[in-house]
Every structure is written in structure tokens, then in C-alpha cells.
Amino acid sequence: MEKVDVVKICEKVLKRLSLMDYERKGGTATEQLIFPNKFPSKEKIEKLSEKELLKYIRRSEQELRQIFIDVFKEYHSEGNNKLYYSIETPTAQKHKFGKSYDDLIKHIGLNSISALIDMCVFQRDEASKYERILNIEFKHGNAPIKDIAKDVLKLMREKENGAFIFLLDNTNKGSLNNIGETRDGVLDKLSKSFEDFRGLDNIWNENESKNKHIQIIILSLEQKTNAVSPTLISKTFFIENLNDLDTFFSINDNRSGNMATVCENSGWLLYVLKDNQVTVSSLRGEKQSHEANSNATLGMVGEKVKNIKIS
């Protein structure tokens, strides 16, 4: 059993993010963290309507990481569940990234200095020694491929399990899966990163138990009118998935779409937040056990979906 249930934490993170107020709009949310303003230029602001100005809001991975840490501490601050963490943690493996994606590929193996992991989770043994057990990277939006690939490379080359958590404002056709189009989505960029790295020597740094994996979790606030409710999808990547990246990163037969088009046989777990409950809408083809406040067990594809209440 995983020491850190990253998906369970992300369910609660999604709820809290969806309830946050905005500096420009105001509000009465109980969440203390708010999304701050962005400020257009003086020339531009004079041409914007009040409605258009409301779009100038700064959402970033900083809010995602802050709330993730808050929820992590709720679950892992006491007793046998107590764990420890650091932020901006130097990697054990050395890197040289360069200025472009091509530089990143060209410089692999030219080790220079440690990179930084957004968050690292530790356990402490009876001799009071700390051991790294999980590396986590956070990303906001459909970031440039170099930024995504750097984080993929760090997670692949460290021996501990990893988690790559994205926060999207919305998931239109271009921002999630968009194969064959001119604009790549997040999943397309992840797929290309793994593809370009997979043939390199010693790129997947395996742990002692030989079961290293990287969880990929995408949260979407689905802010657009008529969009689905706030949603997250998750899937776990193992070394054998390097042999069939197209299948792993496809959300449906067309390999194109948004959160609403994730299909049951894609292998992606899909969670939809509605009325303060997370509904598991798409399940993998094998039994999945998900421990939540209700200790609900998720069944096979096609069984009745259960609601998981997030307190």
C-alpha cells in the first residue's frame, strides 16, 4: 500500500481550489488563500470592459502546491501516518538542461548540477534517519514542452516513486489531448517527453523493490460556461509503459478531447466534483481500492459508481 495516497489528497485539493475567491471579484469563501490579480498595461486596461477585466487573474502552481501541502499535513502529521517533507529539494542525480528542448535532449548525460524537485516526501526510521520516498512536481497550465520534459526527466532519473500534478483552468481540445493538430496538449507533451527519453541508458532509475512508478494527475477547474464540473484524471506510469506510449496517454480512441471525453477503457481514472462529492466516473479494467472517508471500494468498469464524500 502506498504511504501517500496522492489521488486522495488531490481530490480534496481540487475541492479547495474550486472554492477559492479572487482578489478582483471578491467573495465570502472560508478558504484563506485567494487568487490574486494580474494587471494589464495602462493602454490595454483603458480598452477593457469590466467583464473582460475579470479575466486578469493569476492562477499558478504556487496555489496548487500550497494547498497540496496543507492537505498532506492533515493526513500525515500524527502517529504511524506521520511523514516529513521538503520543498525545492536538490536531486540526487545531476542535470544540464540548457535553454531549449533540443538543448535538454542534447545535454542528457552531461551531468552538471543538481536540479530541484518541487516537493519531496520523507519517512523517518527508528534511528532518526530520513529516507526519501516520493518526489512530486507541480505544473500549471499547458506549459511549454521543455518545462514539462525537465520535470519528467527529474522524476525518471531519481530512484524514488514520483507524482506529476497539473492544474488546468479548463480542458479544451488543445490543452489536454490534441494529437495530429498543430497545438499539443499536456498529454501529448508528456508522451513526447517519455518517447525522447526512453532509449537512453540508465534513464529509469529503479528502486530496490523494482516497482518504481510515476503517478500522473491532472486537475481541471473547468471555468468555462457549460463546462463539466471541476474534474481530475489520474493514471500510474510504470517502466513497461515505455513500450506503448500511445496507448498509455490516450484518453479515447480518437486521442483528442477534453475531460468530458475520457472513456472507460482508456485506463484513466476520472473524478468529478459535484455537490461537495467526488464521483468516480471512469474506472480501470481491474479492481481498484480507494480509501476515503467512507472507505468506499471502487469496482469493475460498468459497476455502479459510488460517491466519495470529501470533508
Residue-level pLDDT at 261: 83
Residue-level pLDDT at 131: 96
The whole model's pTM is what? 0.86
The residues that bridge with 117 in the sheet, in sequence order, are: 89
Tens-place pLDDT, residues 72-128: 999 999 998 999 999 999 999 988 888 888 888 887 777 788 999 999 999 999 999
Residue-level pLDDT at 153: 94
Tens-place pLDDT, residues 212-271: 999 999 999 876 655 668 999 999 999 999 999 999 998 888 777 788 888 878 899 988
Quote the percentage of the chain above a pLDDT of 70.
85
**Mean pLDDT on 153-167:** 96
Integer Cα distance of 280 and 308 in angstroms: 8
Integer Cα distance of 225 and 218 in angstroms: 20
Residue-level pLDDT at 168: 92
pLDDT > 50? residue 44: yes
pLDDT > 90? residue 292: no
Residue-level pLDDT at 282: 47
Whether 193 contacts 152, CB under 8 Å: yes
Tens-place pLDDT, residues 45-63: 878 887 788 788 889 999 9
Indicate the pLDDT class of residue 194, thresholds 50, 70 and 90.
very high
Phi, psi for 170 (deg, rounded to 5): -150, 165
Strand blocks (E) in the chain: 84-95, 113-124, 130-140, 161-168, 177-178, 213-220, 231-238, 256-257, 269-274, 277-282, 288-289, 297-298, 307-309
